[in-house]
Structure 1
């Protein structure tokens, strides 16, 4: 378990078909952060991934889930892979999946160019489905697995 507590932590994603991988990512952010800023990809940005629920739906689902557990978060819309982390000095860390770690590295490069302090990058490993393949929204949309990673027969 990670013991470091940061004041302000960023985490972002599409969060379509909110699944156990998303839960692990967000739970990690709350474990290490006093305040968690959650970016949800906009409809235009998310459309690159295929047929996803609307941004409002995805943000609403997240808010409904999290507001039962936490009160120290803010959800906003993301129009690019970097969000406010490249403009706002006050972030301390970013939580990413193995898949999105390159975005966090790029964020730190942009921050360095602007004379901002780098973010600590916390990488969360994939949650595997019952077949040993990572749980993903794409696989859920394809009807191969459910949000828990259980195979659909």
Structure 2
């Protein structure tokens, strides 16, 4: 199965790893995962600093290789919320609870453009030790580490 997923992935944390792992699981042995990685310009709109695209891409690829997923993958530069998801032929989109509305919008726009609807797989956000969502913003603020453990 051909699957799409997207994000900034900075820093690459436990929530991202669950999202990506689920994407590879859905793709299956002979599938393909297209990972949209936000461009430097698009990522600059975040509320915290983001490392350069090249650094984030290298870290992402290193982690994927370390996991030994059987599906193939490609990393594409994402300059907006949709990337190639509006035009590319694929079967599934994997999102978090926070990005589910974007997935619905992608399907709406695909329908308007006479493209087939894609299946949406939503994962639950991962909670840190304090019961709040693990996020890059919280990590950047020094509240938690990338595994969701509180920093004292």
Task: Provide the TM-score with structure 1 as the length reference.
Answer: 0.93
**Cα distance, 1:13 vs structure 2:** 0.4
The residue aligned with 1:39 is 36
The residue aligned with 2:111 is 112
**Cα distance, 1:129 vs structure 2:** 0.2
Aligned length: 146
Task: Provide the TM-score with structure 2 as the length reference.
Answer: 0.93
**Which whole-Å deviations, capped at 9, do the CAs of 1:32-62 have from their partners, x for residues lacking one?**
1111000100011111113011111111100
| 2:54 is the alignment partner of 1:56 | yes
| 2:23 is the alignment partner of 1:29 | yes
Q: Following TM superposition, where does structure 1 have runs of at least 4 consecutive aligned residues deviating by more than 3 angstroms?
A: none
The residue aligned with 1:4 is none
Pairwise CA RMSD of aligned residues?
0.9
**Cα distance, 1:136 vs structure 2:** 0.4
- Once structures 1 and 2 are overlaid, which stretch shifts more, 45-54 or 63-72? 63-72
The residue aligned with 1:141 is 140
**Cα distance, 1:149 vs structure 2:** 0.3
The residue aligned with 1:128 is 127
Name the SS for the 2:64 alignment partner: helix
**Which ranges of structure 1 fall in alignment gaps of 5 or more residues?**
1-6
**Which whole-Å deviations, capped at 9, do the CAs of 1:62-94 have from their partners, x for residues lacking one?**
001112313611111100000111011x21000
| 2:73 is the alignment partner of 1:73 | yes
Name the SS for the 1:73 alignment partner: strand
